[in-house]
């Protein structure tokens, strides 16, 4: 979900990638290996091919094939929007229900995320005199503590495979094919939450219009649409509280990321 840098070390070889885990409190190596095998069996070509796993070693290691392409950044063009939507739809639709039933819930599921955000909202970042940020933090704290919200997020939804991380850097594009990497936090999820994470991940901040084109390619039921809206608000608030103070500005960029996220949270709420 969040900033998971330094959770692993990646060694890029000529034809394979060796991933050594520094943290495995969420069962990251097992989750990744399980996901690679599942996707290779049911959706071949959408993710690296699983090569070998050494899950009992210290550190645990997973070896997978090396893919071409680079992580997405910048505007999401129409072609890219089509490719993202097609890839997500294949992942959501191709995994059979018996296989999904046997998966653990993805890390950072909606209720887990809600409890995390509720805890953070008790001691939010200092708004430092920023009226918009102050308003967004207050509105978010009120919304996230609604008594009916947890019950709403706990309501069962048709299961799909969840990748566990909506970071655009995990979408490798070579100009023709789009593939996914990084399944450390993957597991059983639902389509509304997965789509909400894709469009609300902080890496998408500069590409929201393009991600809207991705959403246009999905037909959500009325129940899914309600859940999507709630999950989207929750994820936007998560990132408002997650963005560290030292990252409020990117070098050479006047855009105040935190202030922009505050405005976006108010828009969604």
- Paired with 71 in beta bridges are 172
Task: Tell me whether residue 11 is in a domain.
Answer: no
Distance between CA atoms of residues 164 and 186, nearest Å: 4
Q: State CA 148 to chain mean position distance.
A: 24
pLDDT of residue 247: 56
For the stretch 164-192, pLDDT in tens is: 999 999 999 999 999 999 999 999 999 99
Residue 55: pLDDT band with limits 50, 70, 90: very high
What mean pLDDT value characterizes the chain? 92
Q: Which two tokens stand for residue 238?
A: 């998560």
For the stretch 234-252, pLDDT in tens is: 999 999 999 864 454 454 4
Task: Tell me whether residue 32 is in a domain.
Answer: no
Q: Could you give the number of structural domains in the chain?
A: 1
CATH of the domain at 181: 3.90.1200.10
pLDDT beyond 70 at 3? no
Q: What is the pTM of this model?
A: 0.92
Residue 1: pLDDT band with limits 50, 70, 90: low
Task: Tell me whether residue 37 is in a domain.
Answer: no
Mean pLDDT of 68-96: 93
Task: Tell me whether residue 3 is in a domain.
Answer: no
pLDDT of residue 245: 46
Task: Tell me whether residue 12 is in a domain.
Answer: no
Task: Tell me whether residue 40 is in a domain.
Answer: no
Question: Which residue range forms the structural domain that includes residue 213?
Answer: 67-268
pLDDT beyond 50 at 93? yes
- Per the CB < 8 A criterion, the answer to whether 62 and 8 are in contact is no
Largest CA distance in the chain: 54
Residue 205: pLDDT band with limits 50, 70, 90: confident
Could you check whether the bond before residue 59 is cis, i.e. omega within 30 degrees of 0? yes
Those residues whose C-beta lies under 8 Å from the C-beta of residue 200, and which sit 6 or more positions away, are: 166, 232, 235, 236, 239
Mean pLDDT of 59-74: 95
Task: Tell me whether residue 222 is in a domain.
Answer: yes
Task: Tell me whether residue 202 is in a domain.
Answer: yes
């Amino acid at each position: 979900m969040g900033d998971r840098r330094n959770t692993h070390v990646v060694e890029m070889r000529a034809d394979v990638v060796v991933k050594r885990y520094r943290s495995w409190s969420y069962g990251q190596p097992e989750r990744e290996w399980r996901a690679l095998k599942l996707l290779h069996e049911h959706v071949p070509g959408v993710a690296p091919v699983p090569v070998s796993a050494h899950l009992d070693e210290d550190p645990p290691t997973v070896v997978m094939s090396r893919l071409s392409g680079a992580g997405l950044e910048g505007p999401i063009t129409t072609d890219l929007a089509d490719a993202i939507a097609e890839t997500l739809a294949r992942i959501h639709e191709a995994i059979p229900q018996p296989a999904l039933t046997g998966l653990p819930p993805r890390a950072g599921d909606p209720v887990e995320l809600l409890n995390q955000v509720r805890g953070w909202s008790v001691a939010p970042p200092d708004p430092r005199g920023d009226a918009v940020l102050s308003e967004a933090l207050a509105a978010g704290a009120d919304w996230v503590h609604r008594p009916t919200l947890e019950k709403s997020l706990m309501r069962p939804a048709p299961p799909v495979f969840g990748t566990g991380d909506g970071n655009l850097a995990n979408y490798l594009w070579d100009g023709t094919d789009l593939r996914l990497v990084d399944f450390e936090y993957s597991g059983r999820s639902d389509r509304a939450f997965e789509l909400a994470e894709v469009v609300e991940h902080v890496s998408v901040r500069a590409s929201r219009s393009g991600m809207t084109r991705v959403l246009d390619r999905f037909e959500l039921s009325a129940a899914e649409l309600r859940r999507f809206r709630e999950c989207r608000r929750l994820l936007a608030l998560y990132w408002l509280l997650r963005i560290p103070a030292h990252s409020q500005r990117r070098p050479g960029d006047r855009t105040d990321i935190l202030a922009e996220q505050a405005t976006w949270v108010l828009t969604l709420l």
